Amino acid sequence: MGLIVKEFGGTAVGDLDRIRNVANRIVKTYTAGNNVVVILSAMAGITDGLIDMAHKITPSPDKREMDVLLATGEQTSAALLSITLMSMGYPASSLLGHQAGVMTNCAFGDARIVDVGASRIKEYINNRRIVIVAGFQGCDEEGNITTLGRGGSDTSAVAIAAAIDADSCEIYTDVDGIYTADPNICEKARKMNKVSFDEMLEMASLGAKVLQIRSVELAKKYNVPIHVRSSFNEEEGTMVMDVDSDMESPVVSGVTHNKNEARITIKTVPDQPGIASKIFSAIAEAGILVDMIIQSSPTDNLNDLSFTVPKKDFKEAMKIGKRVGSEIGAKDVLGEDSVAKVSVTGVGMKSHHGVAAKMFTALANENINISMISTSEIRISCVIEEKYAELAVRALHSAFGLDKEE
Ligand code: ADP
Ligand code: ASP
Ligand code: MG
């Protein structure tokens, strides 16, 4: 008898028919003699709808109350699935995050899991009940409801799988597995059978939202292999696991894009110690994560400084940029939120030269202008105009020989 964790994304539980399909899938595993712990997302579109509703009341709703609001999405789907299973004659119980023992810090909207008690989960499975846990949520030490950031049910699933020492952790989504690029924009993308934790970490951090990055961090830390597969068919998906990327691995193994960043440029700031520190300390104090940073080389003791921030924090970062900009005597502060970041990743890059040149040439051939570049050992990213993101992904995918054969 196995202990199986299954997580279903929003599309999989998008309506009552789909919830019934999910129930049938669970029953199949359960009646084969396994214990099943299910982690659910909110029904597709519900989280977005709740966010929109709150923003109709005020542009900056209280963060604690937002988490109380957003957690209702997963509460609804968990209860509906449990009701469905019970109506089919199977013993099921739903648990909210705090009832399942998911303890987090108090960073509302982006909380980190600090511990998973799981005693009630264990008690239920010992009694052969199917346990359904509301994903994406937990509670802090004061008992406040918290949420784990967009896509957070992936992280709930991996954390719970680690806590109960599950035999497998399956994440069911609307695609068949992990592809060399988002299959919804690159039809020549290829499904991969296996991806290493490190490669998946890189892809998730660069915008492949198929897995929340923190779920991959936890999976690597606790060595929990994740099987990413489709909720619509029975095909094997992709194993995300501790695989050695061998010498034969392709130079570039994936192309990712991210439309969730915005660029801010602080024009003509004095070229002297302490300037970057002032700007980025103020941004950090506001809890805003900066991704790329570029500083031009000084002309007449003046520099331009550009950086990117998440689009959701763009307005606040602009306010801070303008305030600090005027304190340090910058000439102007410019913002652009219709940008995208496209990246190529691959551990094989470490031992190859010419990857950057090939990337820039592929973009140039499509007449796409690059406004920022950053590199690491296993990644190159370029910021471009948002409207060219899809074209850029397809061009890079072809240029690096990743297209599947016709
Ligand atoms: P769910 O609602 O099931 O959690 P998500 O929308 O969070 O689903 O994630 C699945 C989506 O991730 C896919 O529909 C696909 O558009 C996107 N995606 C981005 N990059 C990739 C990739 N490299 N491989 C597979 N899917 C990807
Ligand atoms: N419902 C949440 C979201 O839409 C969490 C999730 O789907 O994983 O981001
Ligand atoms: Mg998701």
Whether residue 259 sits in one domain with residue 166: no
Last residue of a domain, one of 126, 146, 173: 173
Tokens of 53: 């509703």
**279 and 160 inside one domain:** no
By most ligand atoms within 8 Å of CB, the mutation choice from 38, 40, 174, 253 for ligand 1 is: 174
Same domain? For 261 and 386 the reply is yes
**Directed axis angle between helix 153-163 and helix 213-221, to 10°?**
10
The number of folded domains in the chain is: 2
**CA 264 / ligand 2 centre spacing (Å):** 28
Domain boundary among 134, 154, 173: 173
| Residue 110 belongs to domain spanning | 3-173
Provide the pLDDT for residue 204.
Answer: 95
41, 175, 211: which to mutate for ligand 1, most atoms within 8 A of CB? Answer: 175
- For residue 48, give every residue at least 6 positions away whose Cβ sits within 8 Å of its Cβ, in sequence order, or none: none
Rounded to the nearest whole angstrom, what is the distance from the C-alpha of residue 43 to the centroid of ligand 2?
A: 9
Residue 268 belongs to a domain with what CATH number? 3.30.2130.10
Distance 180 CA to ligand 2 centre (A): 23
Asked, for residue 250, whether it belongs to a domain, the answer is: no
182 lines ligand 1 (CB under 6 A): yes
Q: Which pLDDT score, from 0 to 100, does residue 406 have?
A: 75
**Does any domain span residue 7?**
yes
Looking at the CA of residue 10, tell me the nearest atom of ligand 1. Answer: 2
204 three-state secondary structure: helix
Looking at the fold, whether 29 and 143 belong to one and the same domain comes out as yes
- Taking Cα atoms as reference points, which of 136, 100, 130 lies closest to residue 3? 130
Q: What are the average pLDDT values for consecutive 10-residue runs of the chain, which has 406 residues? A: 96 97 98 98 98 94 97 98 98 98 96 97 97 98 97 98 98 97 97 92 93 97 97 95 71 93 92 90 92 87 92 93 92 95 89 91 98 91 97 98 89
Strands (E), 290-378: 293-295, 302-310, 332-336, 339-345, 372-376
Q: What is the CATH number of the domain that holds 74?
A: 3.40.1160.10
Q: Which of 156, 173, 190 is the last residue of a domain?
A: 173
Q: Is residue 160 domain-shared with residue 263, that is, in the same domain?
A: no
Query: How does DSSP classify residue 191?
Result: B
Q: Based on the fold, state whether residues 21 and 148 are members of the same structural domain.
A: yes
Question: Are residue 167 and residue 261 in the same domain, yes or no?
Answer: no
Quick: pLDDT tens for 283-293. Answer: 999 989 999 99
pLDDT per residue as tens digits for the range 307-340: 999 998 999 999 999 999 999 988 999 999 999 9
> Does residue 198 lie within any of the structural domains?
no
Residue 148 lies in a domain: yes
Same-domain pairing of 151 and 14: yes
Q: Which helix (H) or strand (E) holds 319?
A: helix 314-327
CA dihedral of 227, 229, 231, 233, whole degrees rounded to 10:
-120
The answer to whether residues 268 and 161 belong to one domain is no
Q: Which two tokens stand for residue 373?
A: 């570049």
Question: Residues 46, 152: one domain?
Answer: yes
Ligand 3 centre to CA of 278 (Å) is: 36
Residue 140 lies in a domain: yes
Q: For atom 21 of ligand 1, which residue has the closest CA? A: 182
The answer as to whether 201 is a domain residue is no
Atom 7 of ligand 1, residue of closest alpha carbon:
210
User: Which protein residue has the closest C-alpha to ligand 1 atom 5?
Assistant: 210
Q: Which atom of ligand 1 is nearest to the CA of 181?
A: 23
Q: Tell me, what's the pLDDT at 271?
A: 86
Ligand 3 centroid to Cα of residue 313, in Å, is 21
Ligand 2 centroid to Cα of residue 241, in Å, is 23
Quote the ligand 1 centre to 170 CA distance (angstroms): 15
Q: Is residue 394 part of a domain?
A: yes
So what's the pLDDT on residue 299? 84
- Protein residues with CB under 6 Å of any ligand 2 atom: 9-10, 41-42, 47, 73, 135-136, 150-154
Who's near 389: CB < 8 A, 6+ residues apart?
185, 257, 259, 340, 342
Length of the chain, please?
406
Q: Is residue 136 part of a domain?
A: yes
